[in-house]
Amino acid sequence: MKQKKSITLISSLALTIIFLNIQGCKHHPVIEPKEHCFKTEVLPIFLQNCTNSGCHNSIDKAEGYDFTHYDGILQGLKPYDPEDSKIYKYINKTDEDKMPPDPYPPLTSEQKLIIYEWIAAGAKNDPNCDTAQTVDCDTTAISYSQDLVPILNQYCVSCHTTSSPSGGVALDNYSSVKTVADNGRLYGSIARLPGYVPMPYGQGPLDSCIVIKFDAWIKAGAPNN
């Protein structure tokens, strides 16, 4: 009888240990770390989904976070550990704490996977990883009138006209565009650099090739060609 009680007690202890181990176990997805280019693959996801008006941009800095640049994003994650990263946790929530919040759409499964793999691989920021994309984006012979004016008309002129210059900036004539190109405000805003109001305001970021073309044009002296 005494032997049976001992066996029962040992069995109970064994089951308790197993249960506690299961309870304390983290069930990480079976996803291999993968290197992603921060500038061309990861940052655009944050700019498009997290930096709208009132959110995590360089002006509003909701909850103290600015997701318009690498250092700001790094504050919300733990390199090599996506499951323990605040950003990854919140983009997977489905309750009132989910990010992006309503009425904005949630990140796609592909976008979440990119963020997971990038964090798991160390959340690195390789400054040279966008070389291939820059080569693919043709920046030879950029024409202000042919290449850039149509973009300004489509995304900017509705707010930035000479008669109603939002923020004191007019973008419906060359002289005014040249001014903000020379003082850095044009590139700073469309590239969504820290300290600049992200443009187009309240919308997702411009295609990276568009930003590259403006950068090339400005570096060439912003000619009226």
Q: Tens of pLDDT along 69-126?
A: 899 999 999 999 999 999 999 999 999 999 999 888 899 999 999 999 999 999 999 8
- C-beta of residue 66 within 8 angstroms of C-beta of residue 58: yes
Q: How confident is the model at residue 127 (pLDDT cuts 50, 70, 90)?
A: confident
Query: Is residue 98 packed enough to be buried (19+ CB in 10 Å), middle (13-18) or exposed (0-12)?
Result: middle
Provide the mean pLDDT of the chain.
83
Q: At what angle do helices 174-182 and 208-219 cross, to 10 degrees?
A: 90
165 bridge partner residues: 160
Q: How confident is the model at residue 49 (pLDDT cuts 50, 70, 90)?
A: confident
How far apart (Å, rounded) are the C-alpha atoms in residues 153 and 172?
7
pLDDT of residue 131: 55
160 bridge partner residues: 165
8-state DSSP, 166: G
From the CA atom positions of the chain, what is the Rg in Å?
A: 25
Q: Is residue 160 classed as helix, strand or coil in its secondary structure?
A: strand
8-state DSSP, 67: T
